[in-house]
Amino acid sequence: MAEPATLLGRRVRRLRPLGGGCLFDVRAADLDDGRRVVVKSGAGGLAGQLALEARMLADLGAAGVAVPEVLTVDDDQLVMSWIEHDGGGLDRAGRDALADQLAQLHARPQPGFGYDYDTVIGSLPQPNPAEPTWCAFFRAHRLLGPAARAREEGLLDAGLHRRLEALAARLDELIVEPPHPELLHGDLWAGNVLARGGRPVAWIDPAVYRGHGEIELAFARLFGPFDRRTVERYAERRPLAPGFEPTRAAVYQLYHLLNHLRLFGRGYLGAIAGRLDTLGF
C-alpha cells in the first residue's frame, strides 16, 4: 500500500512500522507539526472493520477506559493518537493496576447481554444479538456458533464437535450469571495492553460486547498478562463465585481457542480437547 504523504492536513515526515499488526499495516507517523500519530491501513477484504474499530474505541473511551483517540477514519485508514509506551510488559504492580481497571469497568451495570451492533474479533465476525441471560448468550453465540463455523470450515472433527455440544447442553451447571451485564473489551490479552514502565497506559484492538467479566479474566489467563495473583486482586474488588478456576475459566477459554483454531489452524485442537477433558466432556 502506498505510503501517505499527508495526514490530517499535515506533511508526513517519517513513518515506521509498529509490531502487532496481524490484519492491518500499523505504523507510527511523525507529522511536520511535531505530532506523532498511529496509522492503521490496508483493510483490503476487511472493509468496514476500521470504522467498526473506531466505533468500539469510542464506546470504551466513553466508559472511562484509556484508549487511543480516533482522529479520522474511513474504509482504508484509521488514524489514532499516539500513546507513549515502551513496548514492555506489565510488572506485578502493573498487573494489579490492570485488574483494578477491569474491575472498575465491569462494576458499571449495562442494559442487557449482547450489544447494540455486531462486532469482530480479529477478522472473525462476532454476533451480539440480545439474549435474556448470560448463559443463553454464551451458549448460542460464543460456543455453539463458533463450533459450528469451525466444523463447516473443516477444522473441527465430528468427535470434538459432539463434545462441545454436550457441554453446551449442560452449560447452566457450569457457569453462573453475573449480578448484571458488564461491558467487555472482548479481546483483552497481553498484546492488547500498552504499557510504560511496567504499568498499563491504554487498551487497544477491542472486540466489545456486554457479558460476564469472568470471560475477560479467563482470556487474560490464557495468553497473559494475568496470573492467579492478578485474578485474586480482581476478586478483592469484584468477588468471584467459587469455581472460577479451573471450571469456568476452562469453559470461557473455549471461545477464544475456537477463534484461534479458525484464525490460525488446527494446532489449537489439542488445547480445545484439553479443556473438555478438564471439564469431563
Active-site annotation holder among 187, 205, 227, 277: 187
* Inter-residue contact 227 to 238 (CB < 8 Å): no
Residue with cell 492536513: 9
CA atoms within 13 A on the CB side of 46: 23
For residue 264, CA distances in Å to 45, 109, 280 come to 18, 35, 26
Neighbours of 216 (CB within 10 A): 23
In 3-state terms the chain splits into helix, strand, coil percentages (rounded to 5) of 45, 20, 35
Identify whether 187 is a catalytic site residue: yes
Sorted by sequence, the CB contacts under 8 Å of residue 245 that are 6+ apart come out as 221, 228, 231
Burial class (CB in 10 A: 0-12, 13-18, 19+), 6: exposed
Give the type of residue at 159: G
DSSP per-residue letters across 222-255: HHSS--HHHHHHHHHHSPPPTTIIIIIHHHHHHH
| Dist. CA 42–CA 44, nearest whole Å | 6
Could you give the residue numbers annotated as active site? Answer: 187
